[in-house]
Amino acid sequence: MTGSLTTHILAARYLRDDENSFTDVCRRVADAIGETQREKETFFSEMHSLRFLPNSPTLMNAGTENGQLAACFTLPIGDSLPTIFDALKWGALIHQSGGGTGYNFSKIRPKASPVRELDGMASGPVSFMQIFNQATEIIRQGGRRRGANMGILNADHPDILTFIHAKEREGDLANFNISVMVTDAFMACIRDGKQDSVWTTHPATGDEVTVGDIWDAITGGIWKNGEPGVLFYNEINHHNPTPLLGEIDAVNPCGEQPLLPFESCVLGSVNLTRFVKEDHIDEVGLKQTTGIAVRMLDRIIDKNTYPLSRIETATKRTRKVGLGVMGVHDTLLMLGIPYDSAKGRVLCGHVMECITTAAVETSHVIAVESDSFPAWDNSRWNKCPMRNAALTCIAPTGSISLLADCSPGIEPVYSYAYTRRHTAGSSFAMLHPLFAQDLATAARDRFSSQPEVDQEINAVISHLRRTGTVQDINWLPASFRRLYKTATDISWKDHIRMQAVFQPRVHAAISKTINMPHSATDDDIAAAILFAWGSNLKGITCYRTGSRREVVYAIGEETEPWPCICSRPPEG
């Protein structure tokens, strides 16, 4: 990436007062996490080479007075003012330190229920979510970014329709992602056409809510503005590594980490583009980096400064870490493989299998060297010593993928020329380097004079920035258009198929957006959710193009003050 964007991201989020470069950040983090000089140099090398990066709180806070290094937290909320406002206070401390928080509000009694202590009526979970939202608004995460929340309500809560409609107006509950937690029984009703079945009844008013009422609200909300997400309770808990510790009913703000109450998790991602060797993936190098990454993430658990002693206790009881990947689509482009192809999915499944297998092997070795996680005896791992109850997930990698100069997570490229908004307070015009290189080659092959080549290249980029696609530019070779599909060119089924390839090969869950065209209907959204459930996903997030005004990625804009081409690693 060009110096302007890299410098801006580094200065806004990662550089401390005495630091000037990415090298300085890597050195500070490695020195804070490593135990021996050899370990410090190993961690430094993996980060500085951009083969692996830990989550943003680690890059921001390691070696500083803050010292809070985890990204993901979940907090319980009870049905009394003390427990609700305890959670509010705890969440504020987490946001201040740089983390994001997930809450399930289902224990709060529904609106209009009697409150005997006050001789009054309950206001319901959504009213308290508004208080949490406002608190988040005024607390900056470590002074460097806004806090983020996940608000969850179980589908059988009597206020479920109020909850689903809470974000109908864009800007409301802006500091929350919201998701409905559904069971297999609920989804079976949808599959079997039993929408008229009563799913929940208000205990005070007797008002009934049917399966169809909830389903229509979910699909309608997604059609209108991309929310709510849907979480699949049974699939999440079927893979709960420590079921005797309790059920999992909450996830972090982006949904990739289902966690028990008070648990936190530190994330990190392997940059797959750094392991492309001509026409294949360097699996030896990939496994080596995976092992180092697991050791670093596990070390962070002990080096971390926790916002609450209860969080430290819960976290160290299971020692969950979240190692994932970024640069998936860029890797496929480098290998000449379309994102929405069977060949691409086979490769991705194999790569993730290699990573998770290497992560498990490393965790086993660390357990033999040190000890297994304290809850190991009653876990699903109790036949083999393990240091960590869970090891892999797929995070969105929004900021660290910019540092690593690669596509985020497992997402397809949104557009090969677009405006990236709200990036550390600024906007940037982006042009994908692989696309730009291959476009120049295609233009030279097609047109005879350099002025004509330049004219056509500029026309394609301008068209791409306006429309987000090159599929309708007929002079481009079919093979070029097949390879360079964007997120909005790829069908929702192929989005879900890619997520489904990764899911059985990761321990936790996956942050992924299922892009749908502007023309998508409620029925299309309903079909996508059913397909995701049938594909054994743990959750799904859909976005219909154009359904929101405020977005991070924007097309239809010709100029921006910060033009750049993503093409090289951070300076220093």
Q: Are 226 and 547 in contact (CB under 8 A)?
A: yes
Biggest CA pair distance of the chain: 84
Distance, CA of 348 to CA of 398 (rounded, Å): 20
Of 227, 256, 263, 411, catalytic: 256
92-126-230-236 Cα dihedral, nearest 10 degrees: 60
3-class SS of residue 13? helix
Beta bridge partners of 179: 152, 229
- The two three-digit tokens of residue 412, written as one number: 């397809």
Of 149, 252, 271, 388, catalytic: 252
- Conformation bin of residue 319: beta by default, left when phi > 0, alpha when psi is -120 to 50: left
Q: Are 142 and 61 in contact (CB under 8 A)?
A: yes
252 is an active site residue: yes
DSSP state of 139: -
254 is an active site residue: yes
Q: Are 339 and 329 in contact (CB under 8 A)?
A: yes
Of 26, 72, 189, 254, catalytic: 254
- Conformation bin of residue 95: beta by default, left when phi > 0, alpha when psi is -120 to 50: alpha
Q: Are 301 and 371 in contact (CB under 8 A)?
A: no
**Number of other CB atoms surrounding residue 220 within 10 Å:** 14
Question: What residues contact residue 411 under an 8 Å CB cut-off, 6+ apart?
Answer: 328, 329, 396, 487, 512, 513
The phi, psi pair for 66, rounded to 5°, reads: -65, -65
137 is an active site residue: no
Distance, CA of 541 to CA of 531 (rounded, Å): 13
Q: Are 161 and 217 in contact (CB under 8 A)?
A: yes
Residue 281's nearest CA partner among 339, 351, 342 is 351
| CA–CA distances in Å: residue 372 to residues 137, 260, 287, 364, 383 | 40, 19, 22, 8, 11
Beta bridge partners of 176: 149
**Number of other CB atoms surrounding residue 143 within 10 Å:** 10
Could you tell me where the DSSP H helices lie in 279-375? 283-303, 309-318, 328-334, 342-369
Indicate which residues carry an active-site annotation. 252, 254, 256
